[in-house]
Chain A
């Protein structure tokens, strides 16, 4: 685990843009090279895809909800109705430069298989997810004694679509286990601001409300 070693140049993020969703998207978009081909898995209403296309990136999407797909198609985006768990297998190897999984990993049935597929289809993957190690989450469980709920994750335990929560630490361990290389890692705090880099990783795991990772296939000698 070598989070502190990661460099963090974020040229695409404009500090005046606030709102956690936007910052998340801007951060992801900043990780994508211009002119590349991108697949956004779980693209929702296509907000991120529109941002990418506005930056000259060839974006495609997969979305589970029919309403989401139809709204995307109505915006002129190339989006297909599909399921990250079952439909990624239909994409050929190396079909994309980047595959993005934004705030969706925790809702998949097999996060590990999904992650492996992301890095089979794309040369790189960008994964963001809510950090269950965030201090507010911990506090709710520790003090409140109930399953955590936040502004971004308001669903109760019995009706949430998020069935595989993890912490930043958990995710890093999974990446190590399946030999995935972390090229960049960023933790965003409650306000969508990057947690300062010079802090130790456990601080990230504590104060990062979500983690955003740029991943690539690990080499043999890792």
Chain B
């Protein structure tokens, strides 16, 4: 018989997740009603909070701060054990003593984006006005809103200029938004595997994911938390579809091929006969344990709306006119979600603005996810770029 309920129910308690949304296991900056976050949709969000983590020490001159902007489904837990999953931080390969983002040299900050579900105010947070979870009452947020919130956090931390803003995918979009909105606060920028605007194909994939969530009867128009349930099947399907876009044909073939999962022959059913199916189901089910479905809707929407050129009269180069920030743009050959052509368009615009820009395309078959994986060439470039930025900024131990 076919196993239609093959995506298991979450094992992390939804109460734990709900608690994390309001009372994160990390540092928190609370902004009171007199300090609203002015959102692009016209709403003043107040009060609100930003959950963040820091690693390393801020130097006396406050010149060694690096902001990491996280991708769609990641969070502030860059280099520490995740409070919900118990797994290692998502970028420990990159951040730590002696790593490219060396915590012995730099002060590393990463905050959960506004609209996220790991402690920064978002649809999974409690609306103080009603005492209930925001859900779909939460205002629509944009990438510029995320960056505006991060800028308020830096003000709170007393950091005027960042040595570097770095991030991949949605994080890379935030990096670019930082340079467009606050060029004087960004000494160097390392946007990775990203684009200055979300393509039609990417919007299409996001819409697929959102529709999967909303088609789940447990979604209840976004008020699933009131019924002590969650649209875990819809969100898992969204994650599965998304995950395919983060990989590549070659990577899937190398990793799984047509190999069977714990069996030699097909079962003539819809069970996960193939390893690739089993893998995707695992990705889907483990994702729903730690992520809020509404938050997924909001953050994918924020990416869809992103288009820097549109905010500058349709001319991308205008976004970077006269910019002093040093750029290092990185793309990966097998990334078809944010292909090299997108990075190249960014580089052309930066050249037209006479910005100091490096651009490296790194050969790998691992697709979009390569920026999270062990790709030594990427590490070398990041390390050298940060070192030269530190040197140019006069860091004592940065060069």
Closest to B328 in A: A73
CB-based contact B385/A70 at 8 Å: no
Most chain A C-beta atoms within 10 Å of own C-beta, residue among B363, B380, B384: B384
A75-83, A126-134, A184-192, A204-212 - interface stretch: A75-83
Contacts A75-B384, A76-B384, A76-B391 given; does A70 touch B352 at CB 8 Å:
no
CB-based contact B359/A81 at 8 Å: yes
A112 to B194, CA, bound (A): 35
CB-based contact B351/A80 at 8 Å: yes
Contacts A78-B326, A80-B357, A81-B361 given; does A73 touch B352 at CB 8 Å:
no
Most chain B C-beta atoms within 10 Å of own C-beta, residue among A79, A82, A90: A90
CB-based contact B328/A60 at 8 Å: no
Q: Residues of A contacting B359 with CB < 8 Å?
A: 69, 79-82
Q: Shortest beta-carbon distance, B324 to chain A, in Å?
A: 12
Q: Residues of A contacting B383 with CB < 8 Å?
A: 74
Contact mask for chain B residues 347-365; partner A; CB cutoff 8 A; 1 contact, 0 none: 1100110101111111100
A92 to B377, CA, bound (A): 31
A82 to B362, CA, bound (A): 14
Q: Residues of B contacting A74 with CB < 8 Å?
A: 380-381, 383-384
Q: How many residues of B contact A (CB 8 A)?
A: 25
Most chain A C-beta atoms within 10 Å of own C-beta, residue among B329, B358, B387: B358
Q: Residues of B contacting A79 with CB < 8 Å?
A: 358-359
Specify the main secondary structure of chain A where it touches its partner.
Answer: mixed
CB-based contact A90/B351 at 8 Å: yes
A69 to B333, CA, bound (A): 14
Contacts A66-B363, A78-B326 given; does A73 touch B354 at CB 8 Å:
no
Q: Which of B316-348 contact A (CB under 8 A)?
A: 326, 328-329, 347-348
Closest to B333 in A: A66
* Interface status of A153 (Cβ within 8 A of chain B): no
Closest to B362 in A: A70
Q: Shortest beta-carbon distance, A17 to chain B, in Å?
A: 26
CB-based contact A60/B381 at 8 Å: no
Q: Which of B146-175 contact A (CB under 8 A)?
A: none
Q: Residues of A contacting B26 with CB < 8 Å?
A: none
* Interface status of A139 (Cβ within 8 A of chain B): no
CB-based contact A70/B377 at 8 Å: yes
Closest to A90 in B: B348
A58 to B356, CA, bound (A): 9
CB-based contact B348/A76 at 8 Å: no
* Interface status of B388 (Cβ within 8 A of chain A): yes
Other-chain residue from B326, B347, B352, B362 in contact with A92 (beta carbon distance below 8 A): B352
* Interface status of A91 (Cβ within 8 A of chain B): yes
Contact mask for chain B residues 377-399; partner A; CB cutoff 8 A; 1 contact, 0 none: 10011011101100100000000
Q: Which of A22-77 contact B (CB under 8 A)?
A: 37, 58, 60, 66, 69-70, 72-77
Contacts A66-B363, A74-B384 given; does A80 touch B358 at CB 8 Å:
yes
Would you give 23 A-B contacts (Cβ < 8 Å), ordered by A?
A66-B360, A69-B361, A70-B362, A70-B377, A70-B380, A73-B328, A73-B360, A74-B384, A75-B384, A76-B387, A78-B326, A78-B356, A78-B358, A79-B358, A79-B359, A80-B358, A81-B360, A90-B348, A90-B351, A91-B352, A92-B354, A95-B351, A95-B354
